[in-house]
Amino acid sequence: KILLICSPFFLLNQILICFVRNDGDPKRTMTAMLSGSFMNIILDYVFIFILHGGMKGAVIATCFSPVISMGVILPYFIRKQNQFHFVKMFPEFRQIGHILTMGGASFITEITGGIIMIVFNLLIYRIAGNTGIASYGIVANISLVVTAIHTGIAQGVQPLISRETGKENSVNAFTFLKYALILSGILSIIIYLLLFVMASPISSAFNRDNHTELQKLAVQGIRLYFSGCGLAGMNIIISGYLASCEKPIQSNIISILRGMILMIPLSFLLSNAGLSGIWLTYPLTEFLTGIVSILFLCRQKRTP
């Protein structure tokens, strides 16, 4: 209930961050996000341990995060140097439709994440019970961090690509895409090597009771599941690139493929191979989606 009441702050914070980043002040947006995150950690400690607020205290601390972030962002709109100004206007439904279409890929990615989590939990419970679900919890928590890294790269390069697209400079736009893909690729290799080597100690951090079966399943899950992290980064960045080039249909197709159309059927199909099949659903989905992404990219590059 508390989170629902505070949900407008979360939504408004994300909108303001996107506006300011696209206006050419990424440092302020980073400062805002870091301020909100660090204060969330500090307030968690205050509300949970000092004030003994328990889960309710943790939720209240989380709700303060976007408020603090907006406190850093809002002064930007007062500056004379910015490109944003409040003006009287009437809503144009055509423009609203265009905005919704362009943001479709991000919406699909966010909404399908919860659906996939439910499907995976049901399938894993059928195969390995509560221990299997606990192991998936470990994998899912790590996945949030890995996905955030790729999403951050995509969001960081998106204003640059949009600017060059607006100038009709497709060469520079594609150059920024290459930089983003190279950075994502290098980070993906480093991340996967670290996760592969450190799978056991990472799992142990979530397994305080030293549950042998949980440890085994989590280590296996980390090593198999994240073999697709590089492909996931490529798909996320190409989807963002296509959206920046005003190709929302292709961008949305990539998001739908990796978020639902391929992931859910493959998870049911591969679950017949046991828990290993569930873990391999993610890399296989990203691989198949990657083929489509590359085809779209080649077509976009040939388009004058």
What pTM, to 2 d.p., does this model score? Answer: 0.81
Cβ pair 79, 96 in contact under 8 A: no
Q: pLDDT by residue (tens digit) across 100-157?
A: 776 766 777 777 778 888 999 999 999 999 999 999 999 999 998 999 899 889 988 8
Which distant-in-sequence residues (6+ apart) come within 8 Å of 283 by Cβ? 224, 225, 227, 228, 231
Cα four-point dihedral sign 85, 157, 261, 281: negative
Judge if 79 and 215 occupy the same domain. Answer: no
Please check whether residues 174 and 297 belong to one and the same domain: yes
Eight-class DSSP state of 168: T
With left for phi above 0 and alpha for psi between -120 and 50, is residue 106 left, alpha or beta? alpha
Task: Look at residue 120 and tell me if it is in a domain.
Answer: yes
Residue at 225 is within a domain? yes
Whether residue 190 is contained in a domain is answered as: yes
Q: Does residue 267 sit in the same domain as residue 133?
A: yes
- The residue count for the chain: 304
Q: Same domain, yes or no, for 155 and 278?
A: yes
Average confidence score pLDDT of the chain: 88
> Do 166 and 118 lie in a common domain?
yes
> Is the CB of residue 264 less than 8 Å from the CB of residue 209?
no
In-domain check, residue 189: yes
Assess whether 49 and 117 both reside in one domain.
no
Asked, for residue 119, whether it belongs to a domain, the answer is yes
Task: Give CA–CA dist 301/295, Å, rounded.
Answer: 10
Cα–Cα distance measured from residue 222 to residue 213, given in angstroms and rounded to the nearest whole number: 14
CA atoms within 13 A on the CB side of 47: 18
- 82 in a structural domain: yes
pLDDT digits 0-9 by tens, 39-67: 889 988 898 888 888 888 888 888 899 99
Claim to verify: residue 155 and residue 282 sit in the same structural domain: yes
Measured distance CA(137)–CA(218) in Å, rounded: 9
How far is Cα of residue 256 from the mean position of the Cα atoms in its chain? 14
Q: How far is CA 186 from the centre of its chain?
A: 18
Q: Which of 102-106, 224-228, 259-263 has the lowest mean pLDDT?
A: 102-106
Question: Looking at 69, 88, 107, which one is the last position of a domain?
Answer: 88
Whether residue 107 is found in the same domain as residue 78? no
Q: Are residues 111 and 259 in the same domain?
A: yes
State the sign of the Cα–Cα–Cα–Cα dihedral 149, 152, 157, 158. Answer: positive
Rounded distance, CA 184 to CA 197, Å?
Answer: 20
For the ranges 28-37, 94-103, 221-230, 241-250, the maximum mean pLDDT occurs at 221-230
Q: What is the pLDDT of residue 160?
A: 87
Q: Which domain holds residue 50?
A: 2-88
Residue, of 261 and 109, whose pLDDT is higher? 261
74 and 194 belong to one structural domain: no
In terms of domains, do 26 and 136 share one?
no
Query: How many domains does the structure of the chain reveal?
Result: 2
Q: What percent of the chain has pLDDT over 70?
A: 96
Boundary (domain end) residue, out of 45, 68, 88: 88
Residue 93 in any domain: the answer is no
